[in-house]
Amino acid sequence: MDLQMQDKTVLITGGDSGMGFETARILADEGVTLILSDKEQDEVDQRAEQLRKGGATVHAIAADLSSAEGANQLAQKIKDEFGGVDAVGHFAGITGPTGDFLELSDDDWRKTLEIDLMGAVRIARAFIPQMVEKGWGRLLFIASENALQPYPDETPYNSSKAGVIALSKGLSKAFAEEGVLVNTISPAFVETPMTDAMMEELAEEKDTDIEGAVQWFLENKRPHIEVKRRGQPEEVAAVAALLLSPLSSYVNGANWRVDGGSVASV
């Protein structure tokens, strides 16, 4: 499919792995000017070079989005070098501390909120002005099934991702008349470095291998994933690429669930 993005400049945060990188891979084939960002310059350089081998125009910029300064520096660098962005896919995030709600400290909560919710706030504040200036833009956040179907041992993550959806909806109302459309995707149990780490920990706890841990998790923790497997990053990326493109011109303030049926309600 032609996503009609040949003249667009797109930033992907969390772009060195998982859903972010797979989205970048799709967009690279669409002829965009692509900017990959993550915390470690070496890693994002390697990923950018991987895409360049296919003839894509890809730039790599390391950024720490745990502070407003980091987000603003990234935005200024992109403004100076590329004239600003047309679209941003914000994939950077963490699971954060988990466990008994009564045992999670304020610091545990702050760690997750600072990255997952405030990171999205900082990206929006830094890059929406560039899109408004152009009169066109797409801003895509990654939320989670947890925002709609909270799990008791992941309360900071649940709350952060619910906040991301509310943030997206508010921004969608504030900037639509400026040509900027804002949406979210809510994946569930996708095969990424984040869920790999979860499964490694579970495998050790259950004295099994990774595949055994995945099957136990599907049966006991995610019984409503009707396709009975982990999602693949490229399955989320296909939806993300569409929502970042001009083809999504009548999609605004929406939350697209890519969850294999995991959310049990309508």
pTM over 0.85? The answer is: yes
Q: Which residue has the tokens 């009975």?
A: 228
Query: Which range of residues forms the domain containing residue 209?
Result: 191-230
Residues 45, 99, single domain; the answer is yes
Furthest-apart CA pair in the chain: how many Å?
Answer: 55
For the stretch 103-149, pLDDT in tens is 999 999 999 999 999 999 999 999 999 999 999 999 999 999 999 99
Residues 104, 218, single domain; the answer is no
Q: Strand, coil or helix: what is 150?
A: coil
> Any idea what the CATH number is for the domain that residue 40 is in?
3.40.50.720
Q: Give the CA distances from residue 131 to residues 20, 24, 109, 209, 237, in Å, rounded to whole numbers and listed in that order.
A: 20, 19, 32, 46, 22
Q: Are 242 and 3 in contact (CB under 8 A)?
A: yes
Residues 125, 181, single domain; the answer is yes
Answer whether residue 1 shows pLDDT above 90: no
Domain count, the chain: 2
The number of residues in the chain equals 266
Residues 130, 207, single domain; the answer is no
Residues 201, 226, single domain; the answer is yes
Residues 70, 88, single domain; the answer is yes
For the stretch 180-224, pLDDT in tens is 999 999 999 999 998 999 999 999 999 999 999 999 999 999 999
Is 93 part of a structural domain of the chain? yes
Q: What is the pLDDT of residue 120?
A: 98
Q: Which residues of 73-108 are buried (b: 16+ CB within 10 A; e: fewer)?
A: ebbeebbeeeebbbbbbbbbbbbbbbeeeeebeeeb
Residues 78, 169, single domain; the answer is yes
User: Alpha-carbon distance 203 to 30, whole Å?
Assistant: 39
Is 266 part of a structural domain of the chain? no
Residues 125, 114, single domain; the answer is yes
Residues 92, 176, single domain; the answer is yes
Residues 95, 136, single domain; the answer is yes
Residues 139, 242, single domain; the answer is yes
Is 3 part of a structural domain of the chain? no
